[in-house]
A = this chain, B = another copy of it.
């Protein structure tokens, strides 16, 4: 990365349903400025981009933006579109074309979990590891697969949806319309559903009986588990078991060197990791057993999305140099 100019930086943008975060990142991964603004998808996407570009140019006057990376729901790496995500009002929008009207530099986009995986590879614990799986546990379960040092996009850009592997026939109803997807069990809402399932099953005393369904958060369950609440502890155990078994299957597919877990749930530490490791190892095929490291992501929760988006375009710029 030695042939960059000292004023060069990439712009990483993470578009969310409500807010959009952005940051200027040097080619070697230093976040030199970050900000955020409302996404406001009621207005055209060009308004959002104009706003961000105006702001960063004001803050860093000397700066030369050499590329823009974007993480967004339903963002398609191959065609440069964001394709009608449910939580954004733009419908299907040609992001690359819109940005080209405003600035002349390479642009790349993909979904946030894929951007996170590239962030992990370039700036996080995935440095120097050619084969790993990145999993983000939030309101859903997102994943990005790194095979031989490259992100797996699949033929259409949509590969890496481990959260939508069906792990239980006729299982829990998923937001995708099907039943039994991994993310209905392993995610913040999944943990809550499991806690309530255990409550209904055991009908016992628990700190969680005082909190209505719509108000119960993963944090409540974590705090209850830390206070040795039986239901909360069992909820983590069950969540870890389901994730561990699912990852044993992931290993049969890809035989990765490592698996990195990212997101709020990871803060539960051993409550989650202990059962995950136990059930993952117990269910892994012999020739692959005890070879896979599973650990928290090396990305900082606050800036991971922006760093991931930045890493995506840095990775593309490196590819262009090789050509």
Name A's B-contacting residues (CB within 8 A).
Answer: 74, 83, 129-131, 145, 147-148, 150, 152-162, 164-166, 169, 176-178, 245, 248-250, 252-257, 283, 285-288, 291
Contact = CB atoms under 8 A, between A and B. Distances in A.
B291 A156 contact: yes
Contacts of A245: 166, 169
Nearest to A292: B155
Nearest to A177: B286
A264 to B, nearest CB: 23
Given A154-B255, A155-B131, A283 B148 contact: no
Contacts of A155: 129-131, 255-257, 291
A254 B178 contact: no
Contacts of A169: 245
A131 B158 CA distance: 12
A252 B161 contact: yes
A314 B256 CA distance: 26
A253 B160 CA distance: 5
A295 B141 CA distance: 31
Contacts of A255: 153-161
5 contacts: A129-B155, A158-B287, A158-B288, A165-B253, A253-B253
Contacts of A150: 148
B160 A248 contact: no
A252 B148 contact: no
A159 B131 CA distance: 10
A262 B176 CA distance: 32
A254 B287 contact: no
Nearest to A74: B287
A195 to B, nearest CB: 21
Given A131-B154, A154-B131, A286 B176 contact: yes
Contacts of A252: 161-162, 164-165
B161 A285 contact: yes
A104 B317 CA distance: 40
A165 B254 contact: no
A152 B147 contact: yes
Q: Which of A129, A245, A254 has the most CB of B within 10 A?
A: A254
A155 B288 CA distance: 10
A211 to B, nearest CB: 31
Contacts of A257: 155
Contact of A283 (B166, B249, B291): B166
B156 A148 contact: no
A256 B147 CA distance: 15
Nearest to A154: B255
